[in-house]
Amino acid sequence: MKFRLLPLTLLAVIGLAVAAEPNYPLDAPAPDGRRPGGTLTQEFTPPPLRDEENKDLRRERNYPEQPPTIPHTIRGYQVDTNGNRCLACHSRANSARTQAPMISITHFTDRDSQTLGTVAPRRYFCTQCHVVQHDVKPLVQNDFENIDELLYRETEQAEQ
Ligand code: HEC
Ligand code: HEC
């Protein structure tokens, strides 16, 4: 079947066409985002990676639905089709032995609102939502106020 190769051939032709004609200037200044200065193609020495915070103290959440941040290092913890290292401590069965907080009940509910007997597929890849922290200067400014601060300010203003 000769037509089987058609999509591949088309892809290759388009690819060549795109590669042959870069329509952006390679020395254009890069946007001053996370990587200030330089041009688009210039390579900088990246800053050294910081250690993950490992204080083992659960952090306050900014609102009740926030996925809590991870207060311990997860370096080398594997999460893939063969296994989930997080569940070795955080599953229902293991949390008593390890004293790790059990994944919450929401993690057992699948997308059809059925509560399953084990963690739902959509909650399997923990680091989609839970992240470790690093002791670094924030990259962008943030003036988030939590609900307590907001309510406090509102009552203060109302009383004046
Ligand atoms: C060796 C056991 C162990 C493993 C493996 C582990 N944890 Fe933990 N985790 C804990 C314990 C114990 C705590 C309680 C705080 C502490 O001691 O660090 C905790 C706390 C947490 C918290 C904070 C919960 C809260 O309510 O604030 C999150 C989130 C978390 N872990 C996510 C993860 C994720 C994601 C992974 C996998 C990448 C993982 N943990 C792997 C033991 C573990
Ligand atoms: C799609 C996002 C998402 C994924 C994926 C996810 N979580 Fe969560 N997790 C949350 C949110 C949101 C909360 C807080 C609200 C709640 O309890 O549902 C939470 C809460 C938690 C808590 C605190 C429970 C408590 O009662 O204090 C732990 C521990 C936790 N998750 C561990 C895990 C582990 C381990 C995995 C992977 C197996 C995982 N989560 C996957 C979003 C997620």
Give pLDDT tens digits for 39-79: 888 888 888 888 999 999 999 999 889 999 999 999 999 99
pLDDT digits (tens, 9 = 90+) for 70-108: 999 999 999 999 999 999 999 999 999 999 999 999 999
For residue 134, say whether it is annotated as part of any ligand binding site.
no
Tokens for 142, please give them: 């943030």
Q: What is the average per-residue pLDDT within 25-41?
A: 79
Pocket of ligand 1 (CB under 6 A): 56, 58, 68, 70-72, 74, 77, 79, 85-86, 88-90, 98-101, 126-127, 130
Q: What domains are defined for the chain?
A: 1-46 (no CATH), 50-136+146-160 (1.10.1130.10)
* CA atoms within a 13 Å half-sphere pointing along the CA-CB vector of 49: 4
Is 72 a pocket residue for ligand 2 (Cβ < 6 Å)?
Answer: no
Residue 45 tokens read as 């020495």
pLDDT given at position 151: 92
Coil, helix or strand for 36? Answer: coil
Beta bridge partners of 84: 79
What is the distance, to the nearest Å, from the Cα of residue 34 to the centroid of all Cα atoms in its chain? 17
Name the nearest CA neighbour of 42 among 60, 55, 25: 25
User: What distance in angstroms lies between residue 65's CA and the mean position of ligand 2's atoms?
Assistant: 9
Q: Is the CB of 54 under 6 A from ligand 2?
A: no
Which atom of ligand 2 is nearest to 125's Cα?
5
Residue 94's H or E segment, with its range, is: helix 92-98
Q: What is the mean pLDDT of residues 117-125?
A: 97
Is the pLDDT at 1 greater than 60? The verdict is no
The pLDDT value recorded for residue 19 is 62
Q: Which ligand is nearest to the CA of 89?
A: 1
- The ligand with the least distance to the CA atom of 66 is 2
Distance CA 98, CA 87 (A): 11
Distance CA 37, CA 44 (A): 10
**Closest Cα partner for 119 from 98, 99, 101, 102?**
102
Could you say which DSSP state residue 84 is in?
E
Residue nearest to atom 20 of ligand 2 (CA): 67
Amino acid found at 60? E
CA distance 139 to 34: 7
pTM given for the model: 0.83
Distance 143 CA to ligand 2 centre (A): 25
Of all protein residues, the one whose alpha carbon is nearest to atom 13 of ligand 1 is: 100
